[in-house]
Amino acid sequence: MSIDKTRRVLLLGGAAAGLGTLAVAFGRAKERVIKVTAKKFDFTPNIIKLQKGVPAVLEFTSLDLTMGFNAPDFGVRTDIVPGAVSRVRVVPDKAGEFTFYCDIFCGSGHENMSGTIVVT
């Protein structure tokens, strides 16, 4: 049996001991990856649905200009540079609706470049 770095299996008991076998998995839950595209003056998707306590990775690409992503309620931000992929990991610790926005001026219309993270 091979054991990877994120999952451990513990086997207790066995047929010889007259016990059933119990398998328990330990480790991190697989993170959900959500791809987000930024372009003048839009995030797609602009509504991101997450679950409280469940880790997610937001994966950003830009189609035209350098943008920013800022979700202050979760303490995450990143630059989004054309031709590169930017990633942020978030584990929502509260339920509700939270605004995220572009925090690098990208031209007229920048002030409306925002979205919502919905945590259930």
What pLDDT was estimated at residue 29? 58
Secondary structure of the chain: what % helix, strand, coil (to 5)? 5, 50, 45
DSSP state, residue 73: G
Neighbouring C-alpha atoms within 13 Å toward the C-beta of 54: 13
pTM as predicted: 0.74
Q: What are the phi and psi torsion angles at 111 (to 5°)?
A: -60, -20
From first to last of its 120 residues, the chain has per-residue pLDDT tens of 444 444 444 344 444 444 343 334 445 557 899 999 999 999 999 999 999 999 999 999 999 999 999 999 999 999 999 999 999 999 999 999 999 999 998 888 888 899 999 999
